[in-house]
């Protein structure tokens, strides 16, 4: 395992493997605890390393997986394990990564002190002038091996409840660079921008870096990039990382008609208005060059925003503060997301879980009657269901939403308004949008006439490769 997976596949050195105590879960850890270490069963279960299965039998939670410990202050505080070619094909093993069990209604035997509230390698943030945030645990390890201080949430985006901790860890950092996976779906980029937005709002100098993705390659991450290139090339990528406002500017299509620009410019103007006069001048130059809008018009928009953002009366600020502390919803039906569930906040500000699953959209298919959202569903049991379709009607009500669930593993206790809350979350993801049809046969498109079959789309010259059209 050391040579074939850690060294050859990921490019980790022996020093890295030994220093981080990267391991292999062979499925016999409970036997070792019981027979060799003489650990009591109840105490072993408290660790979250073992699970009670049907019939009361106890098994290792991680089996035939690579095991990555989370270190903090010189101690292991958590674990994550990655599947390999040797991992079983049972439904509960389909998830690429499994995180250590924590205390829950389903796993009451796990100690409440076992918590998923540590970022991978978070000690690296302390004292770092420049900090890298990347998506995966192996990406983070590769960056560390290359001498770059790095932390990871081990997912595309930080959970809302983790943002205060992230802000605390980065309070003395001069610059933060977020570099997620570069992939065709755009999920990594969307997560990087969300993280950058949260850091920017608190005054951090935050940049987003995008790895060069070779033509024909669906995805590349930091680990893969460093396996193929020296660390100096990754530093060059980071040197060209874009400031958060630069990303907002470049996200506006350069050919957008001026009459359609105002709503697209609102978040950009709001961000620019918070910067120093010299920075404002530089960003205005970028907007003028990209969108051909006059400095006079942009100046008016900036002044109007600054006027709207003038300090509120003390009574109004206190009322907003009380509402925030009480968990009042800014939007009716507002929902928050975690890695394997959705939740809402009650009037006391406490989290109330309303689902046993989480949806990560992979694409949107546009039909005449609306959009179908296609996504991967991860349940709180670690099971993953790929390419689940949610038609336009799914978002009409709780009942309609439930009717789209492909498995009993998906449970929902939210209300109709919360269904719309989930839709708001999914619609913010940047994913490919494709044209769809429910009709086999002739279809008139902007690229010309097409004949749609179940597995192929034909044009006048034969099969059309890489078509945007999909049959549902």
Query: Is pLDDT of 88 > 70?
Result: yes
Q: For the domain bounded by 122-249, which CATH number is listed? A: 3.40.1360.10
Query: Is pLDDT of 329 > 60?
Result: no
Extract the tokens encoding 319: 């009322």
Query: Is pLDDT of 328 > 50?
Result: no
CA distances to 36, 44, 58, 90, 310 from 31, in Å = 8, 11, 10, 22, 65
In the sheet that 206-208 helps form, which strands lie side by side, from edge to edge? 150-151, 130-134, 175-179, 206-208, 242-243
Query: Is pLDDT of 248 > 80?
Result: yes
When mean pLDDT is compared across 182-186, 355-359, 399-403, 445-449, the lowest value belongs to 445-449
CA distances to 99, 101, 437 from 115, in Å = 11, 9, 46
CA 278 vs. chain centroid, Å, equals: 34
The pLDDT assigned to 466 comes to: 62
The pLDDT assigned to 309 comes to: 59
Looking at 22-124, list the stretches that DSSP marks H as alpha helix, in order from N- to C-terminal side. Answer: 29-31, 41-46
The pLDDT assigned to 112 comes to: 93
324: confidence class by pLDDT, cuts 50, 70, 90 = very low
Tokens 């990528």 identify what position? 237
Q: What percent of the chain has pLDDT over 70?
A: 91
Q: Kind and range of the H or E element at 165?
A: helix 163-169
Count of CB atoms situated within 10 Å of the CB of 284:
18
Tokens 């409970």 identify what position? 30
The pLDDT assigned to 318 comes to: 41
Residue 470 sits at the vertex; the CA angle it makes with 465 and 471, to the nearest 5 degrees, is 125
Bigger pLDDT: 437 vs 17: 17
3-state secondary structure of 400: helix
142: confidence class by pLDDT, cuts 50, 70, 90 = very high
- Average pLDDT of every residue of the chain: 87
454: confidence class by pLDDT, cuts 50, 70, 90 = low
Q: What is the pLDDT of residues 395-444, one digit of tens each?
A: 999 999 999 999 999 999 999 999 999 999 998 887 888 777 766 677 66
Q: How many CA atoms lie within 13 A of 366 on its CB side?
A: 8
Q: Determine whether domain 2-99 maps to CATH 3.30.2000.10.
A: no
Q: What residues pair up with 345 in beta bridges, in sequence order?
A: 351
DSSP structure string for 234-294: HHHHHHTPEEHHHHHHHTS-TT--GGGHHHHHHHHHHHHHTS-HHHHHHHHHHHHHHH---
CA distance 145 to 15: 9
Q: What is the pairing mode between strands 462-463 and 457-459?
A: antiparallel
Domain boundary assignment for the chain: 2-99, 122-249, 252-308, 336-431, 435-471
């Amino acid at each position: 395992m050391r040579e074939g997976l850690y060294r050859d596949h990921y490019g980790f050195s022996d020093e890295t493997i030994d220093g981080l105590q990267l391991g292999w879960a062979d499925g016999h850890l409970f036997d070792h605890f019981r027979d060799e270490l003489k650990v009591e069963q109840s105490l072993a279960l408290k660790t979250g390393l073992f699970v009670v299965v049907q019939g009361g039998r106890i098994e290792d939670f991680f089996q035939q997986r690579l095991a990555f410990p989370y270190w903090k202050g010189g101690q292991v505080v958590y674990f994550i394990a990655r599947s390999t070619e040797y991992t079983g094909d049972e439904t509960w093993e389909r998830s690429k990564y499994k995180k250590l069990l924590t205390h829950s209604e389903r796993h009451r035997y796990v100690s409440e002190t076992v918590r998923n509230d540590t970022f991978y390698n978070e000690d690296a943030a302390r004292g770092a002038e420049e900090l890298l945030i990347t998506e995966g645990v192996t990406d983070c390890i590769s960056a560390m091996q290359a001498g770059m201080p790095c932390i990871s949430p081990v997912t595309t985006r930080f959970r809302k409840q983790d943002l205060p901790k992230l802000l605390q860890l980065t309070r003395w950092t001069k610059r933060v660079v977020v570099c997620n996976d570069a992939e065709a779906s755009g999920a990594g980029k969307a997560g990087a921008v969300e993280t950058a937005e949260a850091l920017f709002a608190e005054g951090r100098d935050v940049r987003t870096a995008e790895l060069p993705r070779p033509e024909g390659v669906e995805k590349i991450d930091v680990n893969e990039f460093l396996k193929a290139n020296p660390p100096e090339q990754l530093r060059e990528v980071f040197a060209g990382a874009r400031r958060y406002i630069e990303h907002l500017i470049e996200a506006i299509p350069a050919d957008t008609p001026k009459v359609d620009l105002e709503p697209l410019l609102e978040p950009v103007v709001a961000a620019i208005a918070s910067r120093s006069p010299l920075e404002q001048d530089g960003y205005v130059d970028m907007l003028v060059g990209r969108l051909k809008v006059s400095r006079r018009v942009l100046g008016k928009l900036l002044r109007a925003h600054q006027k709207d953002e003038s300090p509120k009366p003390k009574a109004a600020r206190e009322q907003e503060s009380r509402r925030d502390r009480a968990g009042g919803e800014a939007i009716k039906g507002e929902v928050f997301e975690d890695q394997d569930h959705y939740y809402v906040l009650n009037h006391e500000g406490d989290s109330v879980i309303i689902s046993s699953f989480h949806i990560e959209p992979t694409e949107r298919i546009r039909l005449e009657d609306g959009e179908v959202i296609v996504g991967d569903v991860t349940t709180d049991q670690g099971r993953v269901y790929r390419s689940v379709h949610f038609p336009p009607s799914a978002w009409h009500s709780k009942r309609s939403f439930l009717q789209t669930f492909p498995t009993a593993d998906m449970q929902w206790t939210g209300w109709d308004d919360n269904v719309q809350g989930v839709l708001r979350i999914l619609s913010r993801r940047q994913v490919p949008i494709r044209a769809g049809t429910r009709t086999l046969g002739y279809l008139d498109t902007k690229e010309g006439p097409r004949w749609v079959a179940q597995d192929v789309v034909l044009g006048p010259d034969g099969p059309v490769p890489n078509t945007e059209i999909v049959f549902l």
